[in-house]
Amino acid sequence: MGHHSCCNQQKVKRGLWSPEEDQKLIRYITTNGYSSWSDVPDKAGLQRCGKSCRLRWINYLRPDIRRGRFSKEEEELIISLHGIVGNRWAHIATHLPGRTDNEIKNYWNSWIKKEIRKPPTPQMTVPLPTTVELLPPCYFSDQQGVLNQDLTMNPAMFSSPCPIFMFENGLVAGIGGVNVQEELVVPKIAGLNSNGWHTNSHLVQTPSPLLPFMGGVDSNYFPPLVDNMENMMPLEVQSCRIDEDGGDQIAGECIERQQLIEWVESQGCPGFLIWEHVEGQLGGQGIPSASSNIEAVLASYPSSL
């Protein structure tokens, strides 16, 4: 039948939960547990749908829940993780014991509103040259699985000369003492293993011929490099990790900074840029700094600049 018919019969109560309802639900769940949420309401004597009961228990009544303001460490972790995985609230919540996806989502949505009304920071604006016609052509090779299907199927998208690769280097290590090492991944132009990256964290193609790709893009961290994110084209990417000191590799998925650099250079691309989050800035502005100067990258285009 209709796919989803929960919560729309009459006589099913909705809206905020009363203390009495809470007590009924708590009593039932603590004595019986839940095997099937859909028959919890009947057995517990509640005029709710199972879904509502589940939500109430998961997000509010269950005993191991933690409430109150987020700590500084939690805030930093949320912001950092969001910069990497995007709006995957449930995933982010797994790194914050006792917190729910809903709570984190609410936090983010109000946090982001505050950030948005702040004026952009000056050093984030990078002047881009307007004349690019003289740049030598540089196309991607399809060898070694470098290109994904979208790329090969639509070569017109990649007629822009001289791509500059940009990578976002996850976040600082060991933040708040929480081990998020496995999250320290950066996108790489490669095969189809997107490994759960959120769409807006994928490598994207920018409208600028000089900066055709940006990796790990979060528009709130990297706003001014391009005028509008709408024109960007999400691409499937493979995750890997830039590891400055060579430690803590992730089996099979990690390439180190030097490898990354070599790989980019092997593509015949003269420039690349690695953004790095800087410790201490994540909770404040969430502003990255560039490890390699974009001016130096642009200087590698002698014919036009």
Partner DNA sequence: AATATCGACAACCGCGGAAAT
Partner DNA sequence: AATTTCCGCGGTTGTCGATAT
Task: Calculate the dihedral angle through the C-alpha atoms of 197, 165, 278, 74, rounding to the nearest 10 degrees.
Answer: -10
Among the listed residues 89, 213, 221, 222, the single contact to DNA using CB under 7 A: 89
The answer to whether 301 contacts DNA (rule: CB under 7 A) is no
Cα–Cα dist 242/41, whole Å: 50
C-beta atoms surrounding 99 within 10 Å: 21
Cα–Cα dist 24/45, whole Å: 7
The answer to whether 102 contacts DNA (rule: CB under 7 A) is yes
φ and ψ at residue 39, rounded to 5 degrees: -110, 10
| Nearer residue to DNA within complex by CB, 37 or 140 | 37
The answer to whether 41 contacts DNA (rule: CB under 7 A) is no
Among the listed residues 28, 77, 107, 162, the single contact to DNA using CB under 7 A: 107
Binding to DNA by CB under 7 A, coded x per residue (else -) over 215-254, reads: ----------------------------------------
| Nearer residue to DNA within complex by CB, 16 or 156 | 16
User: Of the listed pieces 105-113, 145-153, 173-181, 265-273, which binds DNA according to CB under 7 A?
Assistant: 105-113
The answer to whether 38 contacts DNA (rule: CB under 7 A) is yes
User: Of the listed pieces 74-82, 95-103, 132-140, 212-220, which binds DNA according to CB under 7 A?
Assistant: 95-103
The answer to whether 110 contacts DNA (rule: CB under 7 A) is yes
How do beta strands 271-277 and 164-169 pair?
Answer: parallel
Beta strands, E only, 192-305: 203-205, 213-214, 233-235, 238-240, 271-277, 288-290
How many residues contact DNA, by CB under 7 A? 40
Cα–Cα dist 239/259, whole Å: 14
Cα–Cα dist 93/80, whole Å: 13
Binding site for DNA (CB under 7 A): 1, 3-4, 7-8, 14-17, 35-39, 48, 50-52, 54-56, 59-60, 67, 69, 87-91, 101-103, 105-107, 109-110, 113-114
